[in-house]
Amino acid sequence: MDLGGARARRARSTRAVVVGAALLAALVLTGCASGPVAAAPASHRPTPHRSATPRPPRPTPTVTPTLTPVPTVPPAPPFVAFDKTARSVDDPASPWVVVNKPRALNPISFVPQDLTYPDVAYVNHQPMRQETAAALVAMFQAGKAEAGLEFSVQSAYRSFESQTRVYDDDVAHNGQAYADTDTARPGHSEHQTGLAVDISALPAKCSLDACFGETPQGRWLAANAWRFGFILRYPADKVAVTGFTYEPWHFRYVGTPLATQLHATGVTTLEEFFNVPGGTSYLG
């Protein structure tokens, strides 16, 4: 047997196998193997090449906004100062006339020319000025509608002659010093102007008495009379100014503009508002 030749053939066969395996490995590593090559795992796949040209932007949908209308605020009315000279405080026919102890009516025997009797309840059936009557009816109707209250006229217009009788009767019963605190002398009474009204409750309670101010009617009138052009003429804290004791039943018509101005400013007497003489003493 030729052992040397056999060994040589085995060695050549082994080198051929080794060379072939090495060549196959090289082909696999370089991607040149003739057989199929398994794909690399996804995590090791190369990032595909992206074009350098950017994509056009997506169109933005058109949305029409809903506009909430802005409310129109009217401009504030221009400030107008109250004109205290618009009406006379001396003319007895003026609704702003100021008559008191030092300020007599001129003429002293003045008689209004437009007296009328409004359709209201009366204790004493006495007339009053037309403008006063219209405002009184509206006030009585509001008191009924808003608070269920009933009113009546205790006293209204009194002439110079009738005021003389009232004053003389008070002097005869109580003396002049007392009468001068609660009854005006003739020619100095607001009742002679036809602009003053003494008001009572229905049913009658505290008529011509200070306690009228505590009745439902008295409280409602004190709070609301200004809306209709009336003022409570003789407040409890203004005796030294008006010259007369507290009369919560005595309401004086001055017109809505002046009554509203007095209410807004908190001034409670005509003497203070118009800066005219008042007080507890007569001049003569």
Distance separating alpha carbons of residues 181 and 245, to the nearest angstrom: 6
d(CA 180, CA 198): 18
pLDDT of residue 69: 72
Looking at residue 193, its pLDDT comes to 98
- What pLDDT shows up at residue 80? 73
pLDDT (0 to 100) of residue 19: 45
Q: Concatenated DSSP letters for 45-64?
A: PPPPPPPSSPPPPPPPPP--
Catalytic residue among 190, 247, 271, 272, which? 247
CA angle centred on 16, ends 13 and 21, rounded to 5°: 130
Residue 247 annotated among the catalytic residues of the structure: yes
Pairwise CA distance, residues 192 & 99, whole Å? 10
CA–CA dist 235, 233 (Å, integer)? 6
| Pair 105, 193: CB distance under 8 Å | yes
Look at residue 24 in the predicted model and tell me its pLDDT: 45
Q: Spell out the per-residue pLDDT of the chain, length 284, in tens.
A: 444 444 545 545 555 444 454 444 444 444 444 444 444 444 445 555 555 566 666 666 565 666 667 677 777 667 678 999 999 999 999 999 999 999 999 999 999 999 999 999 999 999 999 999 999 999 999 999 999 999 999 999 999 999 999 999 999 999 999 999 989 999 999 999 999 999 999 999 999 999 999 999 999 999 999 999 999 999 999 999 999 999 999 999 999 999 999 999 999 999 999 999 999 999 87
- Of 280, 281, 202, 201, give the one whose Cα is nearest residue 248: 201
Q: What is the pTM of this model?
A: 0.73
Per-residue pLDDT at 202? 97
Q: Which CATH architecture has domain 115-274?
A: 2-Layer Sandwich (3.30)
Amino acid in the structure at residue 284? G
Phi, psi of 42 (to 5 degrees): -60, -35
